[in-house]
Structure 1
């Protein structure tokens, strides 16, 4: 039976792609077919084959289904700035509709486990007063929240969970990614998150010297997802 999720973070640079790649790797280890989408990415490198984003490449590397880069990441921009600003500078209309068709194409592959990864946090702007969260709503996917564990993470996590619920989407699970292992009262913070977030914790990922998908997968529990 196929399952698909939209994965978001409490902020930018919280290890969302690291966790997403780990989840995909864990699914592959469990014998599942995998696919992923990164609808929009800024901060791309110019290559002989076109613009390439490191996060999208990391996801593509964990897809067992044969997917082209452009299928995984249909809209790529070079500047490492907010996607809506990068799109505006490139003269591209960054609308929900522009992202919806290519992501439905990924979902129509019917992999056993599919992830659609957002950019930054839940309320990343698109064009015309829309947000990337509107894409998740249009796709109707349950959400996995990556919590970057550091000072202030409880507020960010709870506000993100409230926004997801207000948008009518279920929070399927969350992952504690330990960005700052020296966070004061780390265990107490994690306990508070577990008490207050209305979904199971899929794992605690420590700060790793080499956060490969295989290494991260060892800290995750896919069986906790509905």
Structure 2
């Protein structure tokens, strides 16, 4: 059976890609679905040379994988990956990304979450963006919208660019990263009216552990329903 692949992107850095991906992974586990999260490109590591986002995906994945398979391209400095690649003279090779994707698709999984880095138009070389590779691999996209002042513009720019690239935006999540955001519900309603893809759910700022578990199941169930509808 083919693996359901999803590329998880966001309106910006720190919009919550890893957090939402980890919730989806927890939800899939609660539903009894085999799922894993991977981080093809990361920048910023601990003293052991490991990236925190990749480690969090490993923590919540339903399949134990070696770190190098979860995060095949990793740079120590917490900067734009293509700039880190220039500094270290270790270029981001799309052939390496494609090989990693082929390997992930051979795993005994129902769902594979491929988390991007930064926002949608992440440069990976002088003329290429990670979005170009995502489009060529025909990966369906899940968008995390970091709910804060300015998110309407960021969200719609991202949605338009995803559509322009030929990718399918299958769903989005409203992740409330600013607890003081004015007119939060009005902003969410506005985005629901503007974005054709369904909203999997609204994740409040720092939900309690019990609420977080229920949210995880809700998000995973909503994405599963979309998968079943499209089959």
So what's the TM-score if we normalise by structure 2?
0.90
Tell me whether 1:147 sits opposite 2:149 in the alignment.
no
Aligned to 2:68: 70
**CA displacement 1:21-77 (0-9 Å, x = unmatched):** 111111111111112220110011121xxx101100111112222311100001111
- Relative to structure 1, is the Cα distance of residues 219 and 33 closer, same or farther in structure 2, using a 3 angstrom cutoff? closer
Number of residue equivalences: 223
Q: How does 1:1-226 map to 2 (within 5 A)?
A: 2-47=3-48, 51-208=49-206, 214=213, 216-218=215-217, 220=219, 221-226=222-227
**CA displacement 1:84-138 (0-9 Å, x = unmatched):** 1111111111132232211221122151011001001000100131111122113
| Structure 2 residue runs without a partner (length 5+) | none
So what's the TM-score if we normalise by structure 1?
0.92
What RMSD, in angstroms, separates the aligned Cα atoms of the two structures? 1.8
- Relative to structure 1, is the Cα distance of residues 211 and 46 closer, same or farther in structure 2, using a 3 angstrom cutoff? farther
What CA distance in whole angstroms lies between the structure 1 residues aligned with 2:126 and 2:140? 24
- Relative to structure 1, is the Cα distance of residues 182 and 224 closer, same or farther in structure 2, using a 3 angstrom cutoff? farther
| Structure 1 residue runs without a partner (length 5+) | none
What CA distance in whole angstroms lies between the structure 2 residues aligned with 1:104 and 1:120? 23
Q: Does structure 2 retain, via aligned residues, the 8 Å contact 1:96–1:130?
A: no
What CA distance in whole angstroms lies between the structure 1 residues aligned with 2:208 and 2:65? 26
CA displacement at 1:214 relative to structure 2: 4.0
**CA displacement 1:168-207 (0-9 Å, x = unmatched):** 1110100000011321111110001000111000011001
Q: Does structure 1 retain, via aligned residues, the 8 Å contact 2:28–2:217?
A: no
What CA distance in whole angstroms lies between the structure 2 residues aligned with 1:112 and 1:13? 27
Is the partner of 2:47 in helix, strand or coil?
Answer: strand
Is the partner of 2:192 in helix, strand or coil?
Answer: helix
